[in-house]
Amino acid sequence: MKLPGELDVEPSSFKVWKNVGSCMEKWFGDKRLWLFGNNLPLLPRRSRASSRAMERYEKLAKLGEGSYGLVYKCRNRDTGEIVAVKKFVENEDDPLIRKIALREIRMLKNLKHPNLVNLIEVFRRKRKLHLVFEYCDHTVLHELEQHPAGCPELLSKQIIWQTLQGVAYCHRHNCIHRDVKPENILLTADGVVKLCDFGFARMINGQEIGYVDEYIYLGQIASFENRQDKEVERRITNAWKSFWSMKDLMKGTLPLTLKRQLIDMCILPVLTYGSQTWSLTEHQKSKLKVCQRAMERTILGVRRIDRIRNTTLRSSTRITADVGAQTAKLKWAWAGHVCRMHPDRWARIVTEWVPSDGRRRRGRPRRRWRDDLDRFLPQWPKEARDRERWSFYKEAFAQQWDTIQAT
C-alpha cells in the first residue's frame, strides 16, 4: 500500500542504484584513496570495532590544547604502553578538519625518522578522528620556560642538531613542515627530539621554491627588514576597500549617527589592526590621519579643493574615534599588559632587552617600539603595574597625536 505523497519508483531505478553501489564498493574495496598523486590508505571504515578503539586507552592527563584538537596522555590497557592521543574537536564532516587530518596522516605514514614523531594508529569515535602517537615527555617550550636566561649550551646544541636532522630528512623527501616552533618540538625522557604536527606541511614534488623576504602572517607583513611603511600602506588600502564596500551607505542618505557607527565598527578596526606593535614615524602618523579625513570628506560630499578645515569637518561629522588616538590607546593598553606579565615571559624579556653595548645593530630601524613610551613616561614599566594609574595616563598619551595637523 502506498502512503500519501509517496513517489512511484520504477524497479529499474533500484537496479541502477544497486549497480552504482557495487561499483563504488569495488572502487573503495581495497580501502585506498588517490591523494596528491600518491596511493594512501583510507581511514578505517566506521564500525563498532573502530568506535571501541578508544576503550583500549585509559586517559591519564590532558597534555595540551590547540586550534583543532586536544591531546591526552593515555595508557594502552592491553600492553601498558604510554601514548599521546590527539582528538580533533570538530567531527570529520568538517572539510577543513578532514583535510588537515588526512594531510598529517599521509605525511607521517610516508616519513619515518628517529627525530620525527611516530604515528601508531588512527581511529574514529563519535564521528571524531583520533590519532595515536608515541608519548614524549615535554616540549622545547617547557625547557625555555624552565631556563628564562637561556637553555644550557650542551642542551641547546643537542636540540638544534636533532631538529635539523629531522627537518633535513623532510626536505630530502620534498616535505616542507612550515610550522617549526618550540611547541612542536617534542622531547622524550631520554632527550630525543621528535618533530610533530604536520597538519600544515606541504609536499613540493619537484617544484622550485622562490626566495621570500617578507610574508603576510596574521594579517601583517612579517620581515627581517623594516616594512613599517608598507604595512601602513596596506592598512590604508584595506580600510578604503572596507569603506567602498559600503559605498551606498556612506554616500547615501543614511543618518550621520549610523555612518559614525559604521566608521567605528568597520573602518577603524581595519585601519588600526596590529597597531599595538607599531613604531610609527611622524610621516606615517600623518598618512593615517589623512586617510581618515579623506573618508570624512567623502561622507559629507566635500572635495579637497573646497579647502575646508579639518576642525570644520570634524564638527560636521561629530566623529569622536580618531585614528591617531585609537592607535595610541591600543599600544598603551598592550604595553601595560606586557609589563604586568610574569618576568619569565618572553614578550616581556624581549621588550626590556637592550644590546650589551647599548647600540642597535646597523640596518635596524632608527625607532624602537618603546621610544615614544620612554619619551612620554620614562618610568612606564614600573607605572604599568598599577592598572588604575596606568589608565589615568592613557588619555594623555593619546593626545600627543593631536600635535600632527593632517590636511
pLDDT in tens, 23-37: 444 434 444 433 333
Q: Which SS3 state, helix, strand or coil, does residue 289 take?
A: helix
CA 377 – CA 380 distance, rounded (Å)? 5
- pLDDT, residue 314, reads 81
| Number of domains, the chain | 2
**Residue 16 is assigned to a structural domain of this protein:** no
**Residue 70 is assigned to a structural domain of this protein:** yes
Beta bridge partners of 83: 74, 134
**Residue 108 is assigned to a structural domain of this protein:** yes
Give the CATH number, domain containing residue 114. Answer: 3.30.200.20
Q: Are 128 and 226 in the same domain?
A: no
- pLDDT, residue 364, reads 63
The residue among 134, 160, 194 that closes a domain is: 134
Looking up cell 588512527 gives 122
**Residue 86 is assigned to a structural domain of this protein:** yes
CA 2 – CA 90 distance, rounded (Å)? 41
**Residue 42 is assigned to a structural domain of this protein:** no
Q: How far is CA 246 from CA 238, 242, 273, 292, 316, in A?
A: 13, 7, 19, 15, 20
- pLDDT, residue 310, reads 77
113 vs 100 pLDDT, higher one: 113
Please, are residues 385 and 340 in contact by the beta-carbon 8 Å criterion? yes
Q: Are 114 and 253 in the same domain?
A: no
Model confidence band, residue 360 (pLDDT cutoffs 50, 70, 90): low
Model confidence band, residue 246 (pLDDT cutoffs 50, 70, 90): very high
Q: Are 248 and 125 in the same domain?
A: no
**Residue 321 is assigned to a structural domain of this protein:** yes
pLDDT in tens, 330-344: 999 999 998 888 776
Q: Is 18 annotated as a binding residue?
A: no
pLDDT in tens, 110-160: 899 999 999 998 888 877 888 899 999 899 999 988 887 788 999 999 999
Model confidence band, residue 6 (pLDDT cutoffs 50, 70, 90): very low
Please, are residues 331 and 278 in contact by the beta-carbon 8 Å criterion? yes
Please give the mean pLDDT across all residues of the chain.
Answer: 80
Q: What is the CB neighbour count within 10 angstroms for residue 330?
A: 18
- pLDDT, residue 82, reads 93
Helices (H), 201-246: 228-244
Q: For residue 288, with 0-12 CB atoms within 10 Å meaning exposed, 13-18 middle and 19 or more buried, which class applies?
A: buried
Please, are residues 143 and 103 in contact by the beta-carbon 8 Å criterion? no
Dig out the grid coordinates for 77 from the structure.
Answer: 590497557
Minimum mean pLDDT range among 10-14, 251-255, 318-322, 395-399: 10-14
Minimum mean pLDDT range among 77-86, 103-112, 127-136, 396-405: 396-405
Looking up cell 600602506 gives 233
Q: Which domain holds residue 108?
A: 48-134
**Residue 224 is assigned to a structural domain of this protein:** yes
Q: Are 110 and 230 in the same domain?
A: no
Minimum mean pLDDT range among 137-151, 169-183, 349-363: 349-363
Model confidence band, residue 5 (pLDDT cutoffs 50, 70, 90): very low
Q: Are 355 and 232 in the same domain?
A: yes
Strands 202-203 and 82-88: unpaired
The residue among 114, 134, 154 that closes a domain is: 134
Amino acid at 338: V
**Residue 165 is assigned to a structural domain of this protein:** no
The residue among 134, 167, 189 that closes a domain is: 134
403 vs 279 pLDDT, higher one: 279
Q: Which SS3 state, helix, strand or coil, does residue 40 take?
A: strand
